[in-house]
Amino acid sequence: MATTQSLNDAAISLARSRRKADLTDLIEELRIPSISTLPERREDCLRNARWLRDRFSAMDMKTEIVDVREGGLPVVSAEWNGRPGQPYLTIYGHYDVQPVDPVEEWKSPPFEPAIRGGHVYARGAADNKGNHLATVKAVEHLFASGGPPINLRFLIEGEEEITGPSLPQFLRERGSGLKSDAVLIWDSGMDEEGHPTLATALRGILYTELRAKGPAVDLHSGTFGGVAPNPVNTLARVVGELKDRHGHVTIPGFYDVVREPSAEELVEWRKKDARYIQDVLQITGAKALEGEDGQLALARTGSRPTLDANGFIGGFTGKGAKTVIPAEASAKVSMRLVPDQDWKSILAAFEKHARSLSTPGVEISVEVIGAAPPVLCSVDHDAARALRVAYKAAFGKDTTPIRVGGSIPVALDFQEALGAPLVISGIAQADCAIHSPNEHLLIDNYHRGIEAVIRFICGLAA
């Protein structure tokens, strides 16, 4: 085998010569509408899994599409054990994407990638196809330059956006045979100042649907208004009273076990908070920020739990008039949880509180759509240090440790089943609009990200 440095240099040189082809491959994957939550897109999700399998197979990696559970979306697994005695790196990503609604707000069709101003616009560009394909291309260039200096495994799932159980089950069942010295979870991005990041924590999630049922059928609001229970009125009241005007969640016991940030974190957050607020206002287009009184904005987005209504359905919502008292209504409500909150305990308290806020004649029920626990992870280990060095060389910037406000449901399963340190990062820029119309990825980040992963992998070699 060539020296690690010569391999690193050859792979980076190759990556730079193949930037056009690497971008073409990203655009090809972005054309696949792999929306996991929509049953009619199931075949597209399977097509995306096969697309990835074919790329791993072309590298002579041991590859399989694993159907973990009936009716689920498969895990794409690829392994290469060509360096006995060298470390083993597991790389995670997901091929499923969010729905595109509201589609009318997209400036170009969400699955017809468009390049504007140095960005590629498409659903999945940042979350997670641009991210995971950067790791795939990095490994491809290493193989073409003589072979990676360490052993590698890819696990790319199709259920991240629906908090699906397939990959967690796969890890729990096969964990003892999945030797790994580090896990690269490449599903994050840069901070608001354009610095690479390393996650020290991820918030967990409890995603629910509240349902309110009243009369047996829709009723005339003139004939029965004033006496018939109205599920829309009641559900609006329930959702509204889950938080007070000061941003405080009203569920009893919600904050009882919330772990406070360290003194060092607070010092750093105070230095950056004013700038962060301005950046968020610019990125979101909001006129003001909200949240818990007395908490830094950086704390509210990383170390504090949240509750948000994500959608509301009930009654007549079409154009024109139809004056009815609806028979039922529903609302999607999610909670982002922090260490040491337990989603099952929060769920029990949430259900009890929501029912206590109901009105006569309206029955409130709660369905869990998805849940995942919060995660804490160290950045004081060899893999994290190797990524810092790789980022510095590829982007010319230092890496910032952050608490990530979002959730990666399978992170805890990796942590517990493999027992290896997590490295959670990625290349999406802060204003990439994930989960929103006009999602986009800075193309330069994609190419530099490929180089960073090459350097990172070479930096792990013993």
Domain closes at, from 352, 372, 392: 372
Q: What is the pLDDT of residue 409?
A: 87
CATH number, position 251: 3.30.70.360
Position 441 in a domain: yes
Same domain, residue pair 177 and 326: no
How far apart (Å, rounded) are the C-alpha atoms in residues 226 and 35? 43
Q: What is the pLDDT along the chain (462 residues), one digit of tens a residue?
A: 579 999 999 999 999 999 999 999 999 999 999 999 999 999 999 999 999 999 999 999 999 999 999 999 999 999 999 999 999 999 999 999 999 999 999 999 999 999 999 999 999 999 999 999 999 999 999 999 999 999 999 999 999 999 899 999 999 999 889 999 999 999 999 998 999 999 999 999 999 999 999 999 999 999 999 999 999 999 999 999 999 999 999 999 999 999 988 898 999 999 999 999 999 999 899 999 999 999 999 999 999 999 999 999 999 988 999 999 999 999 999 999 999 999 999 999 999 999 999 999 999 999 999 898 999 999 999 999 999 999 999 999 999 999 999 889 899 999 999 999 999 999 999 999 999 999 999 999 999 999 999 999 999 997
Backbone phi, psi, residue 402, to 5°: -140, 160
Q: What is the pLDDT of residue 1?
A: 58
Position 264 in a domain: no
Q: Which residues contact 35 (CB under 8 A, 6 or more apart)?
A: 41, 44, 45, 96, 97, 98, 99, 100, 123, 161
Same domain, residue pair 195 and 215: no
Same domain, residue pair 394 and 405: yes
Same domain, residue pair 157 and 108: yes
Same domain, residue pair 143 and 230: no
Position 243 in a domain: yes
How far apart (Å, rounded) are the C-alpha atoms in residues 355 and 390? 52
Position 267 in a domain: no
Same domain, residue pair 29 and 112: yes
The DSSP annotation for 81-132 comes to --STTS-EEEEEEE--B----SGGG-SS-TTS-EEETTEEESTTIIIIIHHH
Structural contact between residues 249 and 266, judged by C-beta atoms closer than 8 angstroms: no
Per the structure, the complete domain to which residue 74 belongs is given by 4-202+375-459
Same domain, residue pair 401 and 450: yes
The number of CA neighbours under 13 Å toward the Cβ of 178 is: 25
Position 297 in a domain: no
Nearest C-alpha neighbor of 33 from the set 103, 131, 93? 103
Domain closes at, from 372, 394, 419: 372
As to burial, measured by CB atoms within 10 angstroms (0-12 exposed, 13-18 middle, 19+ buried), residue 265 is buried
Same domain, residue pair 197 and 212: no
Nearest C-alpha neighbor of 148 from the set 83, 240, 229, 216? 83
Domain closes at, from 356, 372, 388: 372
CATH number, position 190: 3.40.630.10
How far apart (Å, rounded) are the C-alpha atoms in residues 279 and 295? 17
Position 122 in a domain: yes
Same domain, residue pair 219 and 366: yes
Q: What is the pLDDT of residue 176?
A: 87
The sign of the CA dihedral 116, 397, 394, 425 is negative
* pLDDT tens digits, one per residue of 39-85: 999 999 999 999 999 999 999 999 999 999 999 999 999 999 999 99
- Say what the pTM is: 0.88
Position 418 in a domain: yes
Same domain, residue pair 26 and 80: yes
How many domains is the chain built from? 2
How far apart (Å, rounded) are the C-alpha atoms in residues 243 and 56? 48
How far apart (Å, rounded) are the C-alpha atoms in residues 412 and 419? 10
Same domain, residue pair 37 and 118: yes
Position 348 in a domain: yes
Same domain, residue pair 219 and 320: yes
